[in-house]
Amino acid sequence: MEKYSFLVTGGAGFIGSNICHELVSTGHSVRCLDDFSLGKRKNINALLDKKNFELLEGDIRNFEICINACENIDFVLHQAAWGSVPRSIEYPLIYEEINIRGTLNIFEACVRQHVKKCVYASSSSVYGDSNELPRVEHRIGNALSPYALTKKVCEEYGRIYKTLYGLDTYGLRYFNVFGKYQNPEGDYAAVIPKFINLLLRDIPPTIHGDGLQSRDFTHVSNVVQANIRSCFASSEYAGNVYNIGYGGRETLADAYSEICTVLGKQIKPVFTMNRRGDVKHSNADISKAITDLKYTPEISFARGLRMTIDWYKENN
């Protein structure tokens, strides 16, 4: 198999580190760019002594750093961003700087350094107040948070950079990704790692709302596959966005119950008020990604949950 050079922005973060591990293990050259505002060095410690891995510490808000990071790179997998709807409501200015301007810097650096393709992380949050299920790419609603809006703007820039500058961009709308290397700590942690982490310590987790809100929980292995396959997709599909989920739908209450069952726990959660900006239901139509990107998600929610719980038990 031919070997390529990849830049993974946010490569020490949750999804980025999983991508780095996969690419390094298959023999590709990987440059990881991270400012460690959210990423963790421990996520990539095992890669630091690999000859085909390079760590570049820097902030995507610095254009010169982006230019240098993209030098002699075939494919860019742009994962660097600040996530979390609640945090974006608290810090909208930072989200504009990092998620929008940072992404624009990466797109422009890709053009100037003649990168073949740029695959970037978007989010199912762009569907906003749309009630249609399953979600299909060409129908979205009004954004409900600054985070959602930043991802919506990045998608428009991705389209423009294809049509005006010839950069092959592929936007991946992630649906509630979970798995190893995901941070379970803090007020802005995602629900799956937070549930697991608290239950391992016999602490009752909090569920916002009635627990009947549903999500298309997607194991990170599926997301890694989608990123890599997008790099080798036809240029005719560049400029488009794609749902990257499993295609399933679980309520938070059911997900919590499943985690309790796997861990052998009988701990009742604490229910509290809904959070601002959260959508009620989410479910991905992934047929477009299957057709255009040859995306074939292999890890189901149940299997992925067991893999994730095993990892947290080993690394708690």
**Mean pLDDT for the stretch of residues 214-229:** 96
In this structure, the number of other CB atoms found within 10 A of the CB of residue 190 comes to 18
Helix and strand element counts for the chain (H, E): 11, 13
Confidence band of 311 (pLDDT split at 50, 70, 90): very high
**Mean pLDDT for the stretch of residues 149-164:** 98
Residue 269: pLDDT above 80?
yes
Q: Tell me if the bond preceding 134 is cis, omega within 30° of 0.
A: yes
Backbone angles phi, psi at 36, to 5 degrees: 60, 25
**Mean pLDDT for the stretch of residues 106-117:** 98
| Contact yes or no for 298/221 (Cβ under 8 A) | yes
Catalytic residue among 147, 157, 170, 246: 147
pLDDT at 188: 67
Domain 5-178+220-247+283-299 has CATH 3.90.25.10: no
> What does the pLDDT look like over 174-209, one tens digit per residue?
999 999 999 988 776 789 999 999 999 999 988 887
The CA distance from 87 to 89, in Å, is 5
In this structure, the number of other CB atoms found within 10 A of the CB of residue 72 comes to 11
**Helix boundaries (H) for the chain:** 14-25, 63-69, 85-90, 92-95, 102-112, 146-165, 191-200, 220-231, 252-263, 287-293, 301-315
pLDDT at 275: 75
Confidence band of 26 (pLDDT split at 50, 70, 90): very high
Q: Is 157 a catalytic residue?
A: no
Average pLDDT, whole number, for the chain? 94
> What does the pLDDT look like over 49-92, one tens digit per residue?
999 999 999 999 999 999 999 999 999 999 999 998 999 999 99
Burial (Cβ within 10 Å: 0-12, 13-18, ≥19) of residue 267: middle
